[in-house]
Structure 1
Amino acid sequence: TTSNAEEHEDYLKLYNLGGGAAKKITIEVLLGEDKVIQKKYVNMLPSKEGYMLPINKRVFDELDDTIKNNGYESNINIKLSYYHNVSRKKQEIFLKGHIDEFNNYEDESIYELQFI
């Protein structure tokens, strides 16, 4: 998140979703462990490398509030559900959000949100 509205990124870059073998993917962005604040369905990934998930205002505001108010303990989590191309079994992964701050560049703060 940056303070310059013209340059902020309004998407999350998601990598290694099912190791390139995932299909019928449901991505839920959660507040806490059960309050869904955004849900996205992706039939097949556009590439094996990753997916850029546009975020809605609720997700953006939560990230912004987290940085401004309580440091870097985010209450945002992601739940991924998908079917594996080979095994055809449904997989489900729950990841907790963590924000790291990096060096400032031209008076702009740089943050990375990781889901672990």
Structure 2
Amino acid sequence: MINIISAIGSLGTFIMALFYFVSVSVQLYQMKIGFIPALGFNQVLLKLDNENKLSMKNMDINDSDHQDYLKLYNLGGGAAKRIKIELLLDEENVIQEKFVNFLPSKESYYLPINKEVFDEFESTIQNNGYETNLSIRLSYYHNVSRKQQVIRLHGKLDNFNTYDDKAIYELQFIDK
């Protein structure tokens, strides 16, 4: 009889240890997810006035009407390191390349935009298209996996609103 009670106690101890192992594993996985960076861009509007002059406006920045940069955010919990940002035309033609050494969580980086990118936006609008030939390739490292992560985003223009004196488009970057 004592052997049966001892066996039941040992089995109960094993089951409790198994539950503890599973709960600790889940907590460690949740902590790991909390340290993974998540890179993305804010909302950007492109305005085309009657004179066909294109201007860009980041919606969270109120300093001027015309801006020539995109704001790259790190919305995740961890720091992104050795970020390589490539702006591509026609899938593989690199027209601009930037490097950011370190982008901590909840911080941002102003990515300057050159004239070729503006020309691509203007030609897309003039051809009544919404699919641009512009892509952004982000490659970065972080502490958790120590592997290079690569994100490829494709630029799209969406008709936001039209007024008498200007047309407004929203620039979106969609995961490809």
TM-based fold match above 0.5: yes
Q: Calculate the aligned-residue CA RMSD, in Å.
A: 2.4
Which has a greater percent of strand? 1
Structure 2: give runs of 5+ residues left out of the alignment: 1-45, 48-52, 56-63
Structure 1: give runs of 5+ residues left out of the alignment: none
| TM-score, structure 1 as length reference | 0.82
In structure 2, the residue matched to 1:68 is: 126
Contact 2:84-2:140 within 8 A present in 1 as well:
yes
Q: Which amino acid aligns with 1:65?
A: S
In structure 1, the residue matched to 2:112 is: 54
Which has a greater percent of helix? 2
Q: Which amino acid aligns with 1:98?
A: K
Deviation at 1:35, TM superposition (A): 0.5
Deviation at 1:99, TM superposition (A): 0.9
RCO comparison, higher one (Cα < 8 Å, 6+) = 1
Q: Which amino acid aligns with 2:135?
A: N
Q: Deviations over 1:37-69 (max 9, x none)?
A: 111111112662433211011111111111112
2:118 aligned with 1:77: no
- In terms of Rg, which structure is larger? 2
| TM-score, structure 2 as length reference | 0.57
- SS at structure 2 position matched to 1:59: helix
Contact 1:22-1:44 within 8 A present in 2 as well:
yes
Query: Which residues in structure 2 correspond to 1:29-108 (within 5 Å)?
Result: 29-45=87-103, 48-105=106-163, 107-108=165-166
Contact 1:21-1:86 within 8 A present in 2 as well:
no
